[in-house]
């Protein structure tokens, strides 16, 4: 069993979590503000802590008639891994490969500290 547990917590390349989704947003995909639901636009893991992971999301809009694209939103989300009993559980680390990934990875610790500070101040 040790091998299975160890295998689940080994660090993995960030590229393995990168996802590109091209989708046409229709009215059922939006909320009452006519914006897309956040869960529909998840992207890749930039950094992990003990039981949490930071996920970078970039959203672009494209004019289907002209092909013009523009960034509409970008964000870092924190996701907590839960076990079958709903308790936080460890997550594998990530290994940055590209220059963009290395920059985000290196700055993630600072973002983590700022998030924790804001949480305490609330």
State the pLDDT at residue 38: 58
Mean pLDDT of the 91-103 span = 93
State the pLDDT at residue 1: 36
Q: At 100, which CATH number?
A: 3.10.129.10
Q: Whole domain around residue 66: which residue ranges? A: 2-121
- Is the predicted pLDDT of residue 102 greater than 90, yes or no? yes
Mean pLDDT of the 88-113 span = 94
State the pLDDT at residue 104: 94
- Is the predicted pLDDT of residue 101 greater than 60, yes or no? yes
Q: Which residues pair with 52 in a beta bridge?
A: 80
Number of domains in the chain: 1
- Least reliable range by pLDDT among 6-10, 21-25, 40-44, 106-110: 6-10
* Cα torsion angle, 117, 118, 121, 122, sign: negative
Which H, E and C letters describe the chain, residue by residue?
Answer: CHHHHHHHHCCEEHHHHCCCCCCCCCHHHECCCCCECHHHHCCEEEEECCCEEEEEEEEEEECCCCCCEEEEEEEEEEEECECCCCCECCCCCEECCCHHHHHHHHHHHHHHHHHHHHHHHC
């Amino acid at each position: 069993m040790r091998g299975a547990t160890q295998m689940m917590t080994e660090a993995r390349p960030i590229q393995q979590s990168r996802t590109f989704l091209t989708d046409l947003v229709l009215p059922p995909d939006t909320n009452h503000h006519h914006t897309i639901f956040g869960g529909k636009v998840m992207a890749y893991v930039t950094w992990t802590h003990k039981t949490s992971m930071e996920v970078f999301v970039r959203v672009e809009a494209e004019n289907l008639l002209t092909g013009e694209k523009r960034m509409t939103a970008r964000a870092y989300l924190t996701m907590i891994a839960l076990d079958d009993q709903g308790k936080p559980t460890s997550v594998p680390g990530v290994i940055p490969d590209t220059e963009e990934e290395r920059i985000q990875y290196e700055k993630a610790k600072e973002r983590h500290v700022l998030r924790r500070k804001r949480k305490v101040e609330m």
